[in-house]
Structures are given as C-alpha cells and as structure tokens.
Amino acid sequence: MTPGRPWRLLVTEPCDGATNMAIDEAVWRGRQAGTSPSTVRFFAWAPPTVSLGYGQPLDRDVSVEACRRLGVGLVRRPTGGSAIYHDGPERELTYSVVATTDDLGGARDLGETYRWIARALVAGLRALGAPVAMVAVARGGDPTPAFCFARTGSYEIEIAARKVVGSAQRRHGRCFVQHGSILLGVDAPRLRTLFPTTRDPLATLTTLEAALGHRPKFDDVAAALAHAFEREHGLRLRADGLTADETAHAARLVEEKYATAEWLAGPV
C-alpha cells in the first residue's frame, strides 16, 4: 500500500442494481481523480438482480420475461464477464475493490491484480472453514458463457473443482474496479429459469453452504474477508461511508446511465 493513502472499508445496505453499480463507478472515478480512497466494499442487492457483463448482449441467454415475472432486477455492470444472479444477502455476497496498481504495491497487469485480490478472498474463506483453492489457469469450456459460474477463469476460486467465486474487472490506466460474487447458497429452480440456454447452471458451481454444511451469514463472511485483506496485504481498513461527492455522483449515474434502457441494451 502506498504510504499515506488509507484504505476504506465500505459495507452498504442492500439496494437495487442501478444504485449498486453507480456507487462503484462513482468510487472508481473518484479514485482516478485522486478524490476517493482505495476501497474494499461488501454489498447485497434488493431486489435480487441479474447483472450483465459490460459487453454482454442482452439476448435470449438471460430470460428478461422471467426477470419481470419473478420481480428480479436487471442491470449492466461497468465490469466485464458474464451474467450473475445476485440473490440477496441470504444467499450471496458481492465484493468490489477499487484501487490503483500503486495501491497494490505495483501489481502491473490484470492477472497480478486478480491474484492479489484472490489471495485475500482465499484466506478469508479458509478462515471460515471452506476448502477453497485458487485456479491459476482458466479451465476449458466456452470462453464467454451466458452464466458467469459456467466457467472458471484464471485466479478465480473453486471448491472441489466447482466455482464458488466469480469475478470481473474494468481498468482505466492504472486504476481499476473489480467485482466479485461469493455464493453463500443457491436457489436452483430460479437459476435454471433465469438462464434458460445454460444446460445445467448447477453443474459447475458450488456454495459455501454445500461446503460447510450450513449457510454462513453475510456479516460473518464480510468480517472474515475484511480481516483477510488486512492480514494478507498489511492493510488497515477503516470503516467509513461514501463522501458527499461520491453520493451525488452516484445519484447522477443512476439517473443518466444505470437505470436507463439505453445502458441496459448495451454499449454502442
């Protein structure tokens, strides 16, 4: 960590997809400008929401009709990758990390930043008793599946060869935002309904509930992960909220970008 630059721990209340993504972009833009600190954030979604990757087409691979019928939100992330179903704090924890490569001690490229973050995630999940492993090289399969958990990428995390954490990143120069989804549990019928073209969305994933024999609480997982970021990387995370500027920027991004039909349809 660069001396004099504090890291912020941000734990926000569950909110809708547009607000969640706007918060992370506001922090990311603030970090680029030097007005926001490096930030580790843990959050959940209300209502449950499908998030699409930045460049992922909005097509038949995600059932828009099922989202509407089930009251599931739909939003496009600023980060890449494939779609994820965020099933509220009872079954899923989402993390984000916003930083520069200098904040990570000079990690130079995408792989190094993924690995830096994954080290902390692995340590935190192992502290909870989960026998997780970091996958150094992406496994085979469709490189761009409709459903994020259908394929394990490099430096993603598995239990017994099944994916339990899915992550995606977006960079601007040396500054990046990375999102990740940690499965506490799963609603199997709903997952199949939302991803009708994925042959068996359960075949390649697992959950902390399956590994531990009980479903851990959101707050307990967040606390274990925060402690692991501190321990693995020598950080001091300071619990804090959004700044007034970040809050105002996020509100503008909701209205002008993330809640719009144009953004959901896909970048041009």
Q: Which residue among 15, 67, 148, 175 is the active-site one?
A: 148
Cβ partners under 8 Å of residue 260, min gap 6: none
Q: Is 188 exposed, middle or buried (0-12, 13-18, 19+ CB in 10 A)?
A: exposed
Number of H helices, E strands in the chain: 8, 11
Neighbours of 189 (CB within 10 A): 8
Cβ partners under 8 Å of residue 202, min gap 6: 186, 188, 191, 192
Half-sphere exposure of 113 (CA within 13 A, CB side): 24
Task: Round to whole Å and give the CA distance between 253 and 247.
Answer: 10
Dump strand ranges (E) for 16-139: 38-43, 49-52, 73-76, 84-86, 92-100, 133-135
Task: Round to whole Å and give the CA distance between 86 and 45.
Answer: 7
Residue 148 a catalytic site member? yes
- Supply φ then ψ for residue 178, to 5 degrees: -125, 130
What does the block give as tokens for 65? 């009709």
Catalytic residues: 148
